[in-house]
Amino acid sequence: MSTIDAAFLDELRARTPIAPLIGRRVKLSRSGRNWKGCCPFHGEKTPSFYVYDDHYHCFGCGVHGDVISFVMQIEGKSFPEAVENLASEAGLEVPKATPQAREQAVRARTLGDVLEAAQRLWTHTLRQPEGRPGLDYLRKRGLTDDTITSFGLGWASDKRGALVSALREQNITPEALVEAGLMSADEEGRPKGELFWGRVTFPIRDRRGDLVSFGGRILGDRQPKYLNGPETALFSKRRLLFGLDRARAAIRAPRPKGAHHIEAIVVEGYMDVIALHQAGFTGAVAPLGTALTPEQLEILWQVAPSPILCFDGDTAGRRAAIKAAETALPLLSTERGLRFCMLPEGEDPDSLIRTKGRATTEQFFTSARPLADILFDLLAEGTPPNPTPEQRATLRARLVEATGKIADKSLAGEYRSSLLDRFFQTYRGRKGSKPGSKGFGNTSASSWTAPAGPSAPDTPLDGTAAKLAILTALVLRYPRLTGSVADAWCQLDLPPDLAELRAAVLDCTASGTMFDDYPDEDTVFARMMDVLTQQGLGPRAKALIRTTCIKKPGKQVDDGLMDTPPEVQWWHFYASTNRAAFEADIARDNEAAMRDGVDAAQWDRLRMRILALTSLRRLEDDSC
């Protein structure tokens, strides 16, 4: 058992959620934040078997353990066999049990002793005259003596070589300090200099509470202001969260009925975590100088199904939020989500508590928004209020691409629908349009309903609602139109039934791969209908095409469009919803083309719109 690397076992446990694993063998039901069921190891009718975030315990027979123990006990496997099975499911390779691995395990225990010796020295020094600058700094930041002691904060002397000298008396060599991450080494691996000096020290512990490294905060002008120990046999920044050992214990601790629920809150720094714990937010943790990693998210979800990510109210904080969202998307599931709390400009949790108090801070955490609600705002960062067509298209592609990263297809579909709905609501209005104006963003939203019966109407549809239906039916019948009309289509205020079809079509065609895979127009149409049918929208789409007579070129609702390309037909009906605005658009775009020049594709799109306007004028002349 001891020959397998402890860090590997931690990662294996983090990648193997215990409740789903046990749920394969035991029927579990929710019990608060945990799960319960009848114990599989002894016969019982009343559930006494409880599953927590990282272990199980039966209050009837006393059996308990983690994911590895469960596999061993339920399947009668040895420890190596259980590890091998779980690793295979998690996509990990078990490190070989070699003499070197055994030696590394022994060395790791020794390195822990080295770190504990440094911890004792630095906590002692903090209370000595030479540590007074560090103690004054911590008190100035609002920390009590009890908090300082509880977190084991210390002071690394600004006298170079003080650590080496003090630990040499305990037979700890500079080479051991290098291995423990307390000294740097030259190119040949020889001890070079102490890493922590003239700094307040923060002990970093793993999820079990074992000391694995240190962080340090400089008080002067030297850089970096904050310093973490390097990667060692004990310490991997990607797999640890500062304060996790305390947060896990607090979240798991039994509380009286009606007591306040402890949230898992991810903040950005040591002082934020400590200040929050002192204020009673004992579920706070922080990454170690890096962006939130997939490994850290997996660990968080073992503690809480929907932790709160709290970011500072500045540009860097928003960038960190975007990065965290992108990291989380592939890992989301119906049981694993995130909430986001964005603080006011210039504030962080530490300053917020000191200046606004606990109650105000709690209000921010209480109002944290689910990722599904805030993802659009994060991805739209930098998009102007009145974006160009190119900017809108870029954003729409970014939204679809983001949801495509979610592995759970049903969840991805929900996110995609939500994001595209927000997109249509936000950017359907044209620049300069105002409520009550006659711009394209304010066309009638009168509901359109397909007439009953299998045949199409004998007379042409008329009215704005009918034109919106025809525009939608044309894109359904000719999906390639999305490449040239999607931006204008998105600006139309469609009734709900048509808006749902629009979202599904744009979602399906966003990447363009459908057109590459099926170059024939009829095949593309058939594939589109298959996709819509799978989403339950097939009958509605077919009825819309049938009742608007959109079947093939030359057989449209308006005899004046005989034998015209579908794109011209689309722009014809689009123009008829607001003739003046359409003409102004064409005049502006034509002037820009003459002045700046356009490529062949851009010119072809402009030409189609001009042909549509020409057909509209001809029909008007013929009716006179």
Tell me the CATH number at 57: 3.90.580.10
Q: Measured between alpha carbons, how far is residue 270 from residues 243, 244, 274, 556 in Å?
A: 8, 12, 6, 68
**Residue 393 domain flag:** no
**Residue 403 domain flag:** no
In this structure, are 84 and 103 located in the same domain?
A: no
pLDDT band at 98 (very low <50, low <70, confident <90, very high): low
In this structure, are 86 and 123 located in the same domain?
A: no
In this structure, are 292 and 321 located in the same domain?
A: yes
**Residue 575 domain flag:** yes
In this structure, are 444 and 583 located in the same domain?
A: yes
Across the chain, mean pLDDT equals 81
> Distance (Å, rounded) from C-alpha 366 to C-alpha 346?
20
Of 7-21, 59-73, 151-165, 507-521, the poorest mean pLDDT is in: 507-521
Q: What is the pLDDT of residues 426-442, one digit of tens each?
A: 875 434 333 333 333 33
In this structure, are 104 and 82 located in the same domain?
A: no
> 40, 71, 90: which is the final residue of a domain?
90
The predicted pLDDT at position 324 comes to 92
- Helix, strand or coil for residue 37? strand
The predicted pLDDT at position 568 comes to 81
With a cut of 70, say whether residue 588 has pLDDT above it: yes
Domain count, the chain: 4
In this structure, are 160 and 114 located in the same domain?
A: yes
Which one, of 441, 428, 309, 433, lies nearest residue 378 by Cα? 309
**Residue 125 domain flag:** yes
Of 38-52, 168-182, 209-223, 519-533, the poorest mean pLDDT is in: 519-533
CATH for 185: 3.90.980.10
pLDDT band at 601 (very low <50, low <70, confident <90, very high): low
In this structure, are 123 and 172 located in the same domain?
A: yes
**Domain limits at 40?**
6-90
In this structure, are 444 and 587 located in the same domain?
A: yes
pLDDT band at 101 (very low <50, low <70, confident <90, very high): low
In this structure, are 115 and 61 located in the same domain?
A: no
> Distance (Å, rounded) from C-alpha 521 to C-alpha 525?
6
Residue with structure tokens 């009825």? Answer: 543
The predicted pLDDT at position 270 comes to 93
CATH for 299: 3.40.1360.10
Q: What is the pLDDT of residues 522-578, one digit of tens each?
A: 888 888 888 888 888 888 888 888 877 665 443 444 444 545 778 888 888 888 777
The predicted pLDDT at position 8 comes to 80
> 186, 208, 235: which is the final residue of a domain?
235
In this structure, are 590 and 452 located in the same domain?
A: yes
Q: Two tokens at 80? A: 């190596």
With a cut of 60, say whether residue 135 has pLDDT above it: yes
Q: Two tokens at 333? A: 């599931």
Query: Does the pTM of the predicted model rise above 0.75?
Result: no
The predicted pLDDT at position 421 comes to 79
Task: Please give the single-letter amino acid code of residue 287.
Answer: P
**Residue 336 domain flag:** yes
Q: What is the pLDDT of residues 53-63, one digit of tens each?
A: 788 988 888 88
Residues 121-145 have a mean pLDDT of 95
Of 116-120, 167-171, 442-446, the poorest mean pLDDT is in: 442-446
> Distance (Å, rounded) from C-alpha 311 to C-alpha 559?
60
